[in-house]
Each structure stands twice: as structure tokens, then as C-alpha cells.
Structure 1
């Protein structure tokens, strides 16, 4: 049994009446291929060292108990996304990569690693679809798809806030760090990705000229953007 399978099994045993658990079981009955929908996370989790897996196990179970109305189990999936950052750091060639244990009333970065013998930290964040997009998905109203042509002010406000919080968490422990952000745009088809890429690149250069930031666009088939890339 894989680490992710063990995690899901433990969550099912402790939350037999949870709406997400029951919905997932029913969906898999109808569409067996959905059992593999977390393959990307499963692959990343298997790269982790044993101590990091133990920390992830407890963090994910705790996050699962949190619900956020229309965003469902987003805190659970945001926690699993830390594995994607871990995998990225390993694949980039950094050493001694491991998750950090959370400390009550003392916010820690998510991951610690070394580069050229120097300790670095990585804070992982996720930016999901906007509230407006979630409302559109819940209605049958026809809307103009031109709203997806460019990223709007609300997105950049969210991006700025996310980066500022992550930077603050890292700076309390070290001057060295990478901010790793998973972004799920409102337009999941990424039809206008080149425009988004140009907008974000200009924004990061102007607003956060000195920070090292890596953006993962999407989960399965994804793009990657790096700003002030740190090389192993």
C-alpha cells in the first residue's frame, strides 16, 4: 500500500460519514479511473524521506477536518501540494530536503533544504480559483469568456498578499528561501497562458525584484515559471 493509500485509508476510518469520503467512493464506483486522480501527489509523496512522510501524515489528517463552504477540502489538498514543492526541490538537485514540524503559535516555513552547504527554507502556497469563478461554476448562466483574456487586479492582489505572507514566514528564520506557489487559474484550459505569463513576469520583476519565486501552473499537465531562480 502506498503512502497516499495509507493516508486516505486512515482518514476514511476516522471519518466514515464525511461527505468527501462518501462522494469519492460513489464517484469511483461510477468512474473507476477516478481512483487515480491523485497520482501526481502520490508520485511526489513517494519521494519524501520517512520523517517528512510522518509529518505530512499528521498535517494532512488535521487539514482534512477543516471545511471551507464552496472550497470544500481545499486545506487538505493545499497541504498535499507541499509534496509537489518537495519533489521540485529534489529534482532541482538540492540536498537535505525535509518537511518541518509545525510549532503551535510559531509559524514555520514548510520545508528546509541546503544549497551549496547553506540552509534555505521553502514556503509553499496555493492560489485557487476566484470566488467569482466558483459562483459561475454553480450557475447555468451564460457569460462572456473574454473575462479570461487577461489576469485582473483581484488576481494580482491575491498574488501579492500570498507572496508577502510567504516571504514574512521565511524571513523570520533566514534570509535565504524559495517561495513555491501552485496556481489554478479561473481558466483551467490555459487558452491565454502566454498573456498570463507575460503579465506575471512583469509584475514579479517590478514588485518583488529580489525574491526567489517558483510558480507551478496547474497540477497534472502543468507549466512552471521561475523568478530569480536558485540553482543547486
Structure 2
């Protein structure tokens, strides 16, 4: 990583902690082993052991579990700046799979390198713990989304959460963002059929709230969509650095 380049992960961690030059140097070393992965080819499989963690540098990934009937439940989508497999490294076995949605670039981080980084820079370790805690908070919110929100609120909340996450790493705003997801991705993540997702997106567009077509999400009425979804971003904990 070039010295003047600010990685998406650095942007995200800096929202929580003021990183020192030493922290940034260690973080830079964690990005050194870059690997490319092709879309549609699993990079980590459920049940896999002794794998590395990855820092997503470019592209989108979905994490998912296969159900006994062969259907897929998408747990979450990973965007640049996200860790992949962090929990699995510490627990030794992956409890879900990771599939690139588009061709991606990721930094491979062996377990020993990660533990060494934690030992050398406790402040960086604390920031990464924040990332893991934030991811867990999102999973809880997703369970609430599936269990208690109607289809329109599910889709609206999903698009707003992605906007907040992408904005944090400089890839989105309240105007919109580029999004490579297809309607079947949303269906697998939101517990809806593709037909239902298509209908909801059309209704949201006709209501003048948001459009999602040709790989671009465009907010026409961001505040109105927030109101519809009852979207409270507090669980994303993006109020600024907590540790100086």
C-alpha cells in the first residue's frame, strides 16, 4: 500500500480511535499480502479450519450459510474496509462461507501476524475489537429486521445501512452509492422472494424515496426513507473517535 494511500480499513478505524504513526505502520504491514479472488468462487468455506483472516480492499463479498434444503441465507455483505473471517481465525473454524460478488482484492492476514499486531499495538487491537463489536451489533439489527419489519421497511433499512457503512469509508453519501448487488442478493439477505423485492423497489421508487437500478442506489428523499424505515444509526456507533 502506497504511503499516501488511506485504506478503507484505516478510514473506518479512525472513526473510533486516533491512530498513531506506529499503529498506522502496523496496519500497513497487515495489508502487504494482497490477493485477488474471482466473483462467484468461495474464498472461505463453512467448516474450514486454519484459514487466514482477510481485509477487503476492493470489491464486495457476501457471507452466507447453506440450509439443509439447499437454500442460501445471506448473513451480511462485506464492503471495502471490512474484516473477513476474523472470528473464525480466533475460533479456528469458519461457521459460514464467504463468496465474492464481484472480482475483489483482499489482504490476507495470517493468524500469527494478527496476534502479533494485537500484542504490539493495544490501541489498534482495541479499534479492531470495536469493528468486531460493531459487526455483531449489525447482526442483531438484521435479526430484528427479519423478525419484526414488513418488506418495505426491510428493504429501506437495508439500503440505508449500506449507505452509512459506505459513507464511513468514503464510498457513499446521502445522495447514493454504487452497488453491485442483484435483487436475488437482497432476497437471500432479507428473507423475501426476488419478485417481492422487485415490487418493493418499484413502490419505493414510485413514492419518490429511492431508486436502485443499473448498479446505482440514488436517494430521492433520504429523510423520508429514514422515516419509513424507522432507521436509527446508533447501533453503527459513528459519532466520532472515542479514544485519542
Same fold, TM-score > 0.5, yes or no: no
> Which is richer in helix?
1
Q: 1 or 2 for the larger relative contact order (CA 8 Å, sep ≥6)?
A: 2
After TM superposition, the score normalised by the length of structure 2 is: 0.30
